[in-house]
Structures are given as structure tokens and as C-alpha cells.
């Protein structure tokens, strides 16, 4: 019952915070968030599972009970974690706690509702990573959208309504596409009478779907694979489904940007791994080259878009498109290091992007501008905050002994050894993205934080307060820890990845 406790504590905390007085809401939300963070770290320390939650292995902290009966189909409350989902649960709880602390300065109206929604997002994110029945998983998946829509639409920037509606429309339409495709798949699977993901995965690997509405089983499997890939690709997002992301990030308040880049984008890549790359090995092989091409295009095009920006938030937002391209490349490699590295990159990017958005928020709080052309010499006035920002940028560039380097090494090593056509060439093209990353981040750092002090806005810049700096220090420490000792999570990840490759066969 540990996962139920984790979700319940967070939901109750969200409700309590939502009706608390504004003056205490921020501190109360922080105190409440420490409970799921502590519980998730205990789960991590006590984890003794092995294998994959959908395939072979011992599922950790498993709980299952029948919930609803729809005709011959059973919907169950079914939760549990493995080496893929548990690191993402821990990432969610830690980032939420730090995001709450980072919001104490910029959020000064309707604080109770703001922090209540943040905790509500956290509870549903935990559910997304822990749920193993499709209907339960989908409820959590959709429930994340509403509070993020409100956070952007109420507490966002001047174009917040446009950004919030665009975010909601894109992601909701994608969810409907994915939902319809998966339900059609279940109806076409013989002898499947439940929406439990392990049973669906087993049926897919033991023969797959039969014909449905006159569509042959193999054709139906391909159509479902493509539909679900597109649905999840919007959430990632990859090119060409990425256009909602920069608007959402630019208009969102800093804590919402931290959660959006740090965790919400990982919902898409996590779902791709759980559904597409676990249940459809034949389709993964058939579509390997176009998916790898999409990954490389996302890496290069996202980096080029970031290189063209002068808004610090847009730079970091477009860099997320590039970074998620590396995740897709690792997944389609279908090797231990490729898929394991992609999962490691989900965690690494969550930490680094969260740090970068926090640092940009601290700079904005002090200068009231995010344009690199409007400021310079910030290192003289905010040395600690700027130092952490520069360290985070080096993490994005893949500096050795930081988590970004380990993630990219695993992915490139795995994708070079992949068995689909042109794998070495596509991997080499993706590696060029590192050069572009260095280009746009060094350009932004040189213009905004070094050189003689100058600021176009009429604000006095002083060192960042302690509650702004401490969350960034914590994230930087975690980035270095995973860079120095990647086996803190990589070994449990590969234990969960291996059954996928054994059932599908390495490409």
C-alpha cells in the first residue's frame, strides 16, 4: 500500500493547501511536499524488484484489486514500480519540493490555489508512472493537464491564455488519438478481458491482434503503433509537434516551467517506452529508420531554433526539444545502452532543465527581463546564482562527471551499435547537436552574465535570496552525483530494460 499512501498523502495535502490562508500556503505546501519526497526516497532505498513491470520480473510495491466490470472487461486498481518508473517517481517528488521553494518570491497572489494545484499535479504524475491498468493510467494522465492549464492560464505572462489553450488543445487531441487506438487494440486481442498492461503486453508478444472491422491484425497493429506514437510524440514533444512547448514555457510561471520540462515531458517518453517499444517489437523494427530520422531532426532543429533565440526561457525551452530527440534516438536503438541511456536521460534532463528554468527565473526576478540583449555582467551582482546557471549550462553541454555526459554517452554507445540501417550515420548527425548546444548556451552566457555590468531595466540587482539558491544547489548536487556514479540508477534501469530486448530481440 506504499504507492497508494504516496498518492493519497499528496492529494490530501493538495486539498488542505488549496483552502489554507494565502500567507502560509507556500510554507505549508513545502512541508507537505517533504512527505512524498521522503516516502519516494524510502521506496528507492527499499527497492528489491527486478525485471520489467509489463513483462518478466518481480514488481515492487505491487497492489491490485478489481474496480469496475464493463461487459466482459475488468478494470482494476493496479499499481507498482520497476527500475524504469521508480527513478521518475523520485524525480517527480524532488522536483516538486524544489519548485515550491523556488516559487516563494514570484508567486504573490492566490498562493493557496497555486500551491494546491502544484501538489495536485505531483499526485497525478506519481500515478502516471505507477499505474499498470490502462484506464487508471489514463485518468492520471488526463488529470495532469487541467492543473497545468490553470497554472499557465492564471499565473502566466501576458499571452498566458493563448499559451494555455494551445497547450491543452494539442495535448488533449493527442490523448484522444492514443486512447482510441489502444482501446481498438484491446478489442482485437483474443482472450484479453482486462486493461491491465502486463496482460495486454503478453498478448501482443504472443500473437498480437486479430482482425477488427475488416482490418487485418498486422495492419491494425501498425495503425495502432503509429497512432500511439503520434499521440505520445506530441507530449514529448518531437518535431513537428513541438510548437506548443515554447509558448507554454515562456508564459508559464517558473515553478510550472520546472515541472513542465522536468517531469511532464517525460510522460511522453515514458509512455513510448511502456507502450510502443515494449508491446510492438515488430513495428519498432519496421519503422526504425523514420523514427530515428525524427529523433535526429528534433535534435538538430531544436538546437538551431534555440540558437536563434534571445529570450533565455525560449532558449531553454527549445533545448528541451533537442534533448528529447536524444531520448527517442536511444529508444529506437533497441539496445541495452540505448534504451537504458534514454531512460537515464529522462531523469538527467529533468534535473538539468529544472535547474536551468530555476536559474532563469532567479535572473528574471532580479532584472525583470529575460532578453540576453538587455543585460550583461550579471555575474558581478549575482555571483552564486550565475555560477549555478553556468554549471547547469555545462551539464546541458555534456561536461564529463555530470549526468548529461553519462546520458549522452550511453545513448550514443547504444545507437552506434543498433542494427537498423544507417544507424552510425544518424547517430553521428545527432552528435553534431552537442556542438550547437555549446553554441547557443555559450552565446547566451557570454551576453547575459559576463562582461561589464549593464541592465536596460530600472531595477537594482542584488544577490539572490537563500531560498532561491538552495533548490538550485540541490539540483546541481544531484546532477553531479549521477554523473560521477550513474549506477545509482542505471543498473536498476537496465534490469527493467533487458526483458524488453529479450522479448523483442535487439534490432
pLDDT score recorded for residue 504: 65
| Per-domain boundaries in the chain | 287-502
Q: Please tell me the pTM assigned to this model.
A: 0.95
Give the least confident one: 42-46, 176-180, 364-368, 481-485.
364-368
For residue range 44-82, list pLDDT tens digits in order.
999 987 788 888 767 889 898 988 887 788 899 999 999
End-to-end CA distance of the chain: 38
For residue range 79-98, list pLDDT tens digits in order.
999 999 999 999 999 999 99
For residue range 143-183, list pLDDT tens digits in order.
999 999 999 999 988 889 999 999 999 999 999 999 999 99
pLDDT score recorded for residue 505: 52
pLDDT score recorded for residue 471: 94
pLDDT score recorded for residue 467: 86
Q: Give 90-132 as a 3 state SS string.
A: HHHHHHHHHHHHHCCCCCCCCHHHHHHHHHHHHHHHHHHHHEC
Residues 6+ apart with CB under 8 A from 169: none
pLDDT score recorded for residue 507: 40
- 208 vs 24, which has greater pLDDT? 24
For residue range 218-263, list pLDDT tens digits in order.
899 999 999 999 999 999 999 889 889 989 988 999 889 999 999 9
For residue range 484-497, list pLDDT tens digits in order.
999 999 999 999 99
Residues 6+ apart with CB under 8 A from 254: 99, 102, 103, 106, 357, 358, 360, 361, 364
Q: Break the chain down into helix, strand, coil percent, rounded to 5.
A: 75, 5, 20
Nearest to 189 by CA among 53, 280, 269: 280
pLDDT score recorded for residue 125: 96
Residue 334's pLDDT band, with cuts at 50, 70 and 90, is very high
pLDDT score recorded for residue 209: 86
For residue range 453-464, list pLDDT tens digits in order.
888 887 888 888
Q: What's phi and psi for 49, nearest 5 deg?
A: -80, 165
For 465-480, what is the mean pLDDT?
A: 93
For residue range 208-221, list pLDDT tens digits in order.
888 888 888 889 99
Q: Does the pLDDT of residue 506 top 70, yes or no?
A: no
Distances 2 to 32, 81, 121 between C-alpha atoms, Å: 17, 11, 19
pLDDT score recorded for residue 176: 93
Amino acid at each position: 500500500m506504499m504507492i497508494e499512501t504516496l498518492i493519497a498523502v499528496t492529494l490530501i495535502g493538495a486539498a488542505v493547501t488549496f483552502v489554507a490562508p494565502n500567507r502560509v500556503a507556500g510554507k505549508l505546501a513545502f512541508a507537505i511536499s517533504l512527505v512524498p519526497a521522503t516516502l519516494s526516497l524510502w521506496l528507492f532505498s527499499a527497492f528489491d524488484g527486478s525485471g520489467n513491470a509489463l513483462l518478466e520480473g518481480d514488481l515492487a510495491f505491487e497492489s491490485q484489486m478489481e474496480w469496475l466490470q464493463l461487459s466482459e472487461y475488468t478494470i482494476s486498481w493496479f499499481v507498482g514500480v520497476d527500475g524504469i518508473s521508480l527513478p521518475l517517481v523520485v524525480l517527480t517528488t524532488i522536483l516538486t519540493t524544489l519548485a515550491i521553494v523556488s516559487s516563494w518570491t514570484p508567486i504573490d497572489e492566490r498562493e493557496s490555489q497555486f500551491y494546491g494545484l502544484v501538489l495536485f499535479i505531483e499526485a497525478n504524475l506519481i500515478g502516471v508512472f505507477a499505474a499498470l491498468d490502462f484506464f487508471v493510467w489514463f485518468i492520471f494522465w488526463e488529470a495532469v493537464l487541467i492543473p497545468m492549464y490553470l497554472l499557465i492560464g492564471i499565473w502566466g505572462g501576458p499571452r498566458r491564455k493563448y499559451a494555455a489553450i494551445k497547450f491543452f488543445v494539442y495535448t488533449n487531441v493527442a490523448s484522444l488519438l492514443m486512447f482510441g487506438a489502444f482501446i481498438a487494440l484491446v478489442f482485437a486481442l483474443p482472450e484479453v478481458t482486462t486493461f491491465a498492461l502486463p496482460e495486454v503486453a503478453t498478448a501482443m508478444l504472443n500473437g498480437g491482434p486479430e482482425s477488427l472491422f475488416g482490418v487485418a491484425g498486422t495492419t491494425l497493429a501498425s495503425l495502432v503503433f503509429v497512432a500511439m506514437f503520434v499521440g505520445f510524440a506530441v507530449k514529448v514533444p518531437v518535431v513537428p509537434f513541438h510548437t506548443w512547448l515554447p509558448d507554454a514555457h515562456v508564459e508559464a510561471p517558473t515553478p510550472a516551467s520546472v515541472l513542465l520540462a522536468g517531469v511532464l515531458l517525460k510522460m511522453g517518453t515514458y509512455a513510448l517506452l511502456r507502450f510502443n517499444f515494449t508491446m510492438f517489437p515488430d513495428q519498432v523494427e519496421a519503422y526504425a529508420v523514420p523514427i530515428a530520422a525524427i529523433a535526429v531532426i528534433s535534435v538538430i532543429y531544436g538546437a538551431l531554433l534555440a540558437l536563434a533565440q534571445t529570450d533565455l526561457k525560449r532558449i531553454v525551452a527549445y533545448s528541451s526539444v533537442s534533448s528529447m530527440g536524444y531520448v527517442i534516438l536511444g529508444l529506437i536503438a533497441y539496445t541495452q545502452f540505448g534504451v537504458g541511456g534514454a531512460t537515464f536521460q529522462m531523469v538527467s534532463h529533468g534535473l538539468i532543465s529544472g535547474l536551468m528554468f530555476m536559474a532563469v527565473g532567479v535572473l528574471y526576478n532580479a532584472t525583470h527581463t529575460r532578453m540576453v540583449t538587455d543585460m550583461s555582467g550579471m555575474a558581478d551582482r549575482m555571483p552564486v546564482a550565475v555560477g549555478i546557471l553556468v554549471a547547469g549550462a555545462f551539464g546541458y553541454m555534456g561536461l564529463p562527471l555530470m549526468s548529461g555526459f553519462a546520458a549522452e554517452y550511453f545513448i550514443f554507445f547504444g545507437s552506434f551499435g543498433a542494427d537498423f540501417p544507417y544507424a552510425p550515420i544518424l547517430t553521428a548527425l545527432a552528435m553534431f547537436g552537442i556542438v550547437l548546444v555549446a553554441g547557443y548556451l555559450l552565446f547566451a552566457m557570454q551576453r547575459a552574465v559576463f562582461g561589464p555590468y549593464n541592465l536596460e531595466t530600472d531595477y537594482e540587482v542584488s544577490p539572490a535570496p537563500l531560498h532561491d539558491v538552495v533548490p538550485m544547489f540541490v539540483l546541481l548536487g544531484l546532477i553531479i552525483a549521477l554523473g560521477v556514479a550513474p549506477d545509482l540508477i542505471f543498473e536498476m534501469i537496465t534490469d527493467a530494460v533487458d526483458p524488453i530486448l529479450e522479448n523483442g530481440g535487439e534490432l
